Structure 1
């Protein structure tokens, strides 16, 4: 068994203020995640009751699949729910969210510097979607990989974008939403690719594919992909909002000191091991009930995950990416450190371990 899959933890978990017993990850480990038959990128998956719903960019539009497990999604029929009738251009990384009883699919469309975020909505996951609406994100700059979340009773939108009109670096931004379709107020940068381990591959340097989740203490995390998606240095890293922090204040966010899920040991955070079976894991999806971070953490010691990667031994290219099933677990008492910035230089709390 690979070392990173045979970890045991004497960590204790505090869930809703109740102290749970220490657990052994190897003794309760579910079936190993695996490569699916779906040669594609950017999985977005949520669970509605006992049904798993995924969305992907395909055929010049967007398709939805439904299955009884994440592993079965690849063989489920893909139902086209939107086509690019208005010739918006490249359609990237659709993200399915459930809010107020409706399904919303956010996606980026455009050509070159024209990429902007759009949304379609329906009361059914795989039919009846509205025509696309362009999101009026503040400053109206290049934007991809956007998703909606609700934290502390407020809606937020987080995405990857440019500060200006040139392709220098991709930052992570957050803005308030007054409704699933309506941004309000300013955009605020919460992460820039400035650490050495997230600048191994650049031109541009990249923070993208943000995915939100709430830890057992109720703190917000944005797990994102770093380094170029065209390289095997692609990896997942974490932003953790300090307890009681302001999501719009960049220095209330603490960044992991390295990749938490990647295939290069040199870029991994100390205590985290590289992947064994895949290269460049990234652009993941926490498979949550209704896609709602307020249902996280789900029950059990290991939680479902989907991500894209390239099988080891295969040339790394966009065309060779597959969807993979995997799992993650919360990892307590983890300190993220920083220097030469406002606020405390260290913050200790929950982090995440990811498993192929």
Structure 2
């Protein structure tokens, strides 16, 4: 039985698309794949996912996005060197090879590592440490190319202690090498991203280009151990420098979350899941040059906990969702250099 769902967007009730009526919270985009931190790309007719499992990294491939959950896992890397906890692998396909970036370590020793292969689910290289400037605690790193320059963006600490997690960017010269300094582009300093802390966090950055070619980085805020975990974004001003923090404009609240008081005005809290976060844009080869145009919704995946289920890391599952570019969105700021407002595309996320 199908029904018509209405969504309240920007204070106006808009007639939504025809969707299946969920019978319970877990039906809304839920998969059977437990865990966190989805990373999925599309290579031709194949969806390729990377996941941290069994002390290493597994790859799943399927011909549909929903099919990822039931696809057999193929272990492509194991922590034979005893690096430590293996977190949040991110997969991309560049220069004819699959590249997986992940964080490994214990406590303050977490650093970014890289493996690669010519084949999606076998033949991966040994792990190489990514040479990030400053050599500090680092997680959730992902490479991308913007205006002909390769970049790497990640979540890390300013020093050697767990005070807060910031987002950093650096220029890349190779799959595991960078050049120059690291530059902070976001810190968790807004009230809505400091609802849950100790530490306060900005993490899981995911780059994407809007229909005007402007760079966005969607990230997760508030503690991942809390149902107040959510997605927010940074938008680079037109003609801006990715290394200059004040050229980035931050959304004025969460764009996808379950805690209504933290949502940006005009963006509604989720109906079926709690604490959605650490998402992936399902882009061709993971390349932001293939970012979707305006108009139609495009696929995403994220992790969350079904409403009515106690919120815990062990209750997280991968969910399918969609997003759409939303025009004429103003982001505002105060007491910083440069213009206080910026108009451009934002993102609407749907369960």
TM-score by length of 2: 0.94
The aligned counterpart of 1:202 is 197
| Structure 2: distance between partners of 1:223 and 1:320 | 23
- 1:310 and 2:300 matched: no
Cα distance in 2 for residues equivalent to 1:134 and 1:145: 14
Partner of 2:59: 64
1:100 and 1:283 mapped to 2: Cα distance? Answer: 26
Of 40, 43, 60, the residue aligned with 1:45 is: 40
SS in 1 for 2:68: helix
Question: Which one of the candidate residues 287, 294, 298 is aligned to 1:292?
Answer: 287
Distance 2:72 2:9 in 1: 37
1:36 is matched with which residue?
31
Q: Secondary structure of 1:230's partner?
A: coil
Report the secondary structure of 1:330's partner residue: strand
Aligned-partner SS, 2:16: helix
Choose the corresponding residue for 2:90, options 81, 95, 104: 95
**Per the alignment, do residues 123 and 346 of structure 1 end up closer, same or farther by CA in structure 2, a change over 3 Å counting?**
same
Aligned to 1:77: 72
Which segments of 5 or more consecutive residues in structure 2 lack a partner in the other structure? 23-27
Mark the CA change 1:7 to 1:341 in structure 2 (over 3 Å): closer, same or farther: closer
User: Which whole-Å CA distance do the structure 2 matches of 1:25 and 1:353 have between them?
Assistant: 15
Q: How far is the alpha carbon of 1:26 from its aligned partner?
A: 2.5
Cα distance in 2 between the residues matched to 1:336 and 1:30: 34
Larger strand fraction of residues:
2
Q: Give, in whole Å, the separation in 2 of the partners of 1:336 and 1:8.
A: 14
Matches within 5 A, 1:275-286: 275-286=270-281
Q: Give 1:168-207 correspondences, 5 Å limit.
A: 168-207=163-202
TM-score (norm 1): 0.93
Tell me, in whole angstroms, the C-alpha distance in 2 between the residues paired with 1:68 and 1:7.
33
* Correspondence 1:238-253 to 2 at 5 A: 238-253=233-248
For residues 6 and 107 of structure 2, what CA distance do their matches in structure 1 show? Answer: 42
The match for 2:159 among 164, 174, 183 is 164
Deviations 1:164-205 (A, max 9, x none): 001010000000001122111100000000000000000000
Deviation at 1:68, TM superposition (A): 1.2
Q: Judging changes above 3 Å, is the alpha-carbon distance between structure 1 residues 168 and 231 closer, same or farther for their aligned structure 2 residues?
A: same
Which residue, out of 16, 21, 29, partners 1:26?
16
Structure 1 outlier segments of 4+, above 2 Å = 1-4, 6-10, 24-33
Cα deviation per residue 1:221-245 (whole Å; 9 max; x = unaligned)? 0000000000000000010000010
- Corresponding residue to 1:115 among 110, 119, 122: 110
Match of 1:214 in 2: 209
Structure 1 unmatched runs, 5+: 11-23
Corresponding position: 1:232 with 2:223 = no
Deviations along 1:92-115, one digit per CA (max 9) or x if unpaired, are 000001111111100000000000
Contact residue 264 and residue 274 of structure 1 kept, 8 A:
yes
Matching residue of 1:154: 149
